[in-house]
């Protein structure tokens, strides 16, 4: 409960932008806290306003108001999760990103491995089964996996995926 209160207060402070040198010029900020293998993790995602390949600034802090531990830039982010997707005992940052291909926007899943003090790209997602609309992390067969909502030929599908060495293996895909 104390962590939720601290996070709520810090969210208000961050969203007011009164403590940032950017004077609030960033249009969008998202704040996440995840229970990770190494304790509570605080992730902030900021719309940088730069080109598409560097549109989001991902920041990890020691605490909601604490110092920055690390940062990196990536494509626009629409969803974020943290968990041990590859079962190696270390947290992975799982981001839903938006990527423009041939003038059309597509959603993809990116996986960043937490190691050596940096988030290293582990998988910069290609398509899963169909066109990704939404996803979440969920336990599947005792492991952390992805549950997706995808679209193909005007129909919606629900997919389940598990990590398989390099990329996701389809567990099931069925009409919704």
pLDDT in tens, 75-112: 999 999 999 999 998 889 999 999 988 989 999 999 99
The whole-number pLDDT of residue 24 equals 47
Look-up of token digits 């990704």:
132
Q: Is residue 131 predicted with pLDDT exceeding 70?
A: yes
Phi, psi of 17, rounded to the nearest 5 degrees: 60, 15
Residue predicted with more confidence, 108 or 52: 108
- With bands split at pLDDT 50, 70 and 90, how would you rate the model's confidence at 8? low
Among 164, 167, 70, smallest CA distance to 109 is for 167
Among 110, 169, 121, smallest CA distance to 145 is for 169
Residue 27 contacts residue 5 (beta carbons within 8 Å)? no
pTM for the model stands at 0.80
Q: Is residue 52 predicted with pLDDT exceeding 80?
A: no
Question: Tokens for 48?
Answer: 């940088």
pLDDT in tens, 30-50: 788 788 777 788 888 888 777
Domain ranges of the chain: 2-126
Q: How far is CA 85 from CA 75, 76, 136, 150, 156, in A?
A: 21, 21, 12, 20, 25
2-126 folds as: Lipocalin (2.40.128)
Return mean pLDDT, the chain: 83
The whole-number pLDDT of residue 51 equals 73
């Amino acid at each position: 409960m104390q962590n939720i209160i601290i996070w709520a207060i810090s969210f208000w402070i961050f969203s007011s932008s009164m403590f940032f040198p950017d004077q609030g010029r960033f249009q969008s900020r998202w704040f996440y806290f995840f229970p990770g293998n190494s304790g509570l993790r605080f992730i902030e995602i900021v719309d940088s306003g730069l080109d598409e390949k560097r549109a989001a600034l991902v920041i990890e802090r020691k605490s909601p108001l604490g110092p920055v531990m690390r940062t990196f830039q990536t494509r626009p982010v629409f969803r974020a999760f943290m968990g041990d997707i590859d079962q190696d005992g270390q947290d992975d940052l799982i981001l839903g990103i938006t990527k423009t291909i041939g003038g059309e926007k597509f959603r993809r899943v990116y996986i960043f491995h937490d190691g050596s003090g940096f988030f290293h790209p582990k998988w910069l997602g290609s398509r899963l089964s169909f066109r990704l609309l939404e996803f979440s992390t969920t336990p599947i067969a005792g492991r952390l996996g992805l549950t997706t909502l995808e679209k193909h030929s005007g129909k919606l599908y629900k997919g389940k995926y598990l990590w398989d060495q390099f990329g996701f293996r389809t567990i099931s895909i069925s009409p919704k």
